[in-house]
Amino acid sequence: MPLPEPGFADPVAESQRAFRALLDAIAHPGRIVDIPGPAGRPKGLSIAQSAIALALLDGDTPVWLAGPCASARPWIAFHTGAPAAPRPDAARFAFAEAGELPAPCAFDLGTDAYPDRSTTLIIETPGLAAGGNALLSGPGIAGTTRATLPLPRAFFAARAELAELFPRGLDLVLTDGARALALPRGTRVEGA
């Protein structure tokens, strides 16, 4: 069996750079950031998804991989030790492509006492761009901002229905190659 593709050449420093870039995206919903990627990456994950996996996953974070992302399972297991979640609602992190995504209610939304135990979705969405038809508002956004969010309207409508459960909900990280945009659960999305 061949060895998996390499991960970060300097695991500590590169994980920290990727993590800081992701934190910047989370602190500024709607802002597109570049996520520095690993030396190698598996088939099924984009550069940003690979970097996020290396920065966030470990042996205590069950991960669910949908569609083509499932081919990255051996790479993720080798580099992070993250166990495979048997279903979406058992995962702390889920990696998917835009066309392979179940409804938001299929994932763990956390509890009122532990909202941080919800699933974070990392979704590859080719065509992600600043500006566009989606109007974003909420914490971390001064007024409003716009973005092109290439996910089905039905997905955002179902996510909006979860708003009444706050602080429970889903945090999203949309990726496009080496770029990422975060939509924390408190971010409202209109017109997507």
CA–centroid distance for 169 within its chain:
14
Torsion sign across C-alpha atoms 5, 31, 61, 165: negative
pLDDT band at 6 (very low <50, low <70, confident <90, very high): confident
Measure CA of the first residue to CA of the last residue in the chain; give whole Å. 44
Q: Determine phi and psi for 52, rounding to 5 degrees.
A: -65, -40
Instruction: Calculate what percentage of the chain has a pLDDT beyond 90.
Output: 88
CA distance 50 to 47: 5
CA distance 134 to 107: 23
Distance (Å) of CA 122 to CA 9, 50, 84, 142, 172:
23, 10, 15, 24, 6
pLDDT tens digits for range 11-60:
999 999 999 999 999 999 999 999 999 988 899 999 999 999 999 999 99
Q: Which pLDDT does position 13 carry in this prediction?
A: 95
Q: Which pLDDT does position 159 carry in this prediction?
A: 92
The total of other beta-carbon atoms located within 10 Å of residue 12's CB is 8
HSE toward the beta carbon, residue 174, CA cutoff 13 A: 23
151 against 4, higher pLDDT: 151
The DSSP call for residue 84 is B
In the predicted model, what is the mean pLDDT of residues 140-145? 94
pLDDT band at 1 (very low <50, low <70, confident <90, very high): low
pLDDT tens digits for range 47-103:
999 999 999 999 999 999 999 999 999 999 999 999 999 999 999 999 999 988 899
Q: Which pLDDT does position 100 carry in this prediction?
A: 87
Contact 129, 156 (CB under 8 A): no
